Amino acid sequence: MQLTFKTIFTCILFFTLPIAKAQTVDNEKLLLHLEYLASDELKGRETLSEGNIAAQKYLVNYFSTLGLETHYPDFQQKFSFENRREKKTYQDAINVVGFIGGKSSRKLIVITAHYDHVGIGKKHSGDSIYNGADDNASGTATLLALAEYFSKNRPEHSMIFASLDAEEMGLQGAKALVLDFPFPLDQILVNVNMDMVSRNDEGEIYASGTHQNPNLKPILEKATNGLTPKLMFGHDLPNTGSDNWTQSSDHGAFYDKGVPHIYFGVEDHKDYHKPSDEFKNIQPEFFFNAANLILKSILALDRELPKE
Ligand SMILES: [Zn+2]
């Protein structure tokens, strides 16, 4: 190639142009997080079980590696609760909670996903480990990937990343978090909760909660326009029974305290709460796209929600 003025100029331009940072999570790590959390080794992560404690350690280590701050000793918020049905008190269940201070606002975006599942149970086709790959290793893995993204790309608003325990026992970790929250609850602009985000045969994921928080809908519509999976709204109308997801996962505890919420999740599938909710049955492509859609949604909320 002859070095003409034009080629030299083009080369200089190429090497000096700022490389636009990709707004994506790390797909490879995302899948590795899910694979580990949903592995037989963790035996379904039932609250207070060995597998649940192994999951906690993984989360604490990861938050620590990312250099997140926290308001709790070693990222761990301990709590107790009573299970009325079993008439049993559970002690020392643990939420793993990290914090990133915002560039320009002390107002908070609280990102949540439960890491517990139902453990070992009734055998189905010879398998008794309820791995909870979609429910909710998927949301937990996404939370870790989001924490990593925002630890490298500081947000405008402060963010709390809360991996919650004992959701399967009645949103207990979320209830404990809102009762012992490090800031006044009215400092929270929105709770973004994720529970089951790794598969759907129709290529759809829901953002439930815009019925209660209609101001958030146009922000999410604009941020996700043209993306796959397709972002659906709904499952949040009063008096629609189980079709109303307002209390179906941890965001319910925030809703009860008057905190706005958006819940990302898919409709139930054939492996829901079965031993077959395992790694081999998630849809990696759907999962990558869903996690990145959630990232884009949070970036838009961070950009557009008030700073004061
Ligand atoms: Zn769940």
Q: What is the pLDDT of residues 83-96, one digit of tens each?
A: 878 889 999 999 99
How far apart are alpha carbons 71 and 296 in whole angstroms?
Answer: 27
Strand partners, 188: 108
Q: What is the per-residue pLDDT for 6?
A: 63
What is the whole-number distance in angstroms between the Cα of residue 169 and the centre of ligand 1?
Answer: 10
Q: What distance in angstroms lies between residue 7's CA and the mean position of ligand 1's atoms?
A: 56
Ligand 1 center to 116 CA (angstroms): 8
Q: How far is the CA of 208 from the centre of ligand 1 (A)?
A: 14
Neighbours of 273 (CB within 10 A): 14
Express each pLDDT in 44-69 by its tens digit. 999 999 999 999 999 999 999 999 99
- Residues 102, 169: contact at Cβ < 8 Å? no
Measure 134 CA to ligand 1 centroid, in angstroms.
8
Q: Give me ligand 1 centre to Cα 182, in Å.
A: 25
Q: Rounded to 5 degrees, what are φ and ψ at 244?
A: -90, 115
Instruction: Provide the pLDDT for residue 83.
Output: 83
For 22-304, which CATH class? alpha beta
Q: Are 112 and 164 in contact (CB under 8 A)?
A: yes
Are 307 and 157 spatial neighbours (Cβ–Cβ below 8 Å)? yes
Q: How many Å lie between the centroid of ligand 1 and the Cα of residue 293?
A: 19
pLDDT in the model for residue 11 = 56
- Work out the percent of the chain whose per-residue pLDDT is above 90: 90
- Show the low-confidence residues of the chain (pLDDT under 70): 1-21
* Dist. CA 135 → ligand 1 center (Å): 5
pLDDT, tens only, 178-196: 999 999 999 999 999 999 9
AA identity, residue 161: F
Q: Does the pTM exceed 0.85? A: yes
CA distance 105 to 86: 44
DSSP string for 235-276: S--TT-GGG--TTSSTHHHHHHTT--EEEEEPPP-TTTTSTT
C-beta of residue 118 within 8 angstroms of C-beta of residue 46 = yes
Report CA(119)–ligand 1 centroid distance (Å).
13
- Tell how far the Cα of 250 is from the centroid of ligand 1, in angstroms: 8
Q: Where does residue 216 rank: exposed (0-12), middle (13-18), buried (19+ CB within 10 A)?
A: buried
Distance of CA 292 to the CA centre of its chain: 12
Question: Residue 165 Cα, ligand 1 centroid: separation in angstroms?
Answer: 11
Distance from residue 114's CA to the centre of ligand 1 (Å): 7
Mean pLDDT of all residues in the chain? 94
Question: What is d(CA 134, CA 282) in angstroms, rounded to the nearest whole number?
Answer: 7
CA of 186 to the centre of ligand 1 (A): 26
Nearest alpha-carbon partner for 293 in 225, 199, 202: 225
Helix H or strand E encompassing 107: strand 105-114
pLDDT score of 180: 95
Q: Please list, in sequence order, all residues whose beta carbon lies within 8 angstroms of the beta carbon of residue 86, skipping any fewer than 6 positions away.
A: none
Q: How many CB atoms lie within 10 A of CB 291?
A: 29
Long-range contacts of 76-84 (CB under 8 A, 24+ apart): 77/176, 77/177, 77/180, 79/165, 79/172, 79/173, 79/176, 79/180, 81/166, 81/169, 81/170, 81/172, 81/175, 81/176, 83/169, 83/170
Looking at residue 21, its pLDDT comes to 64
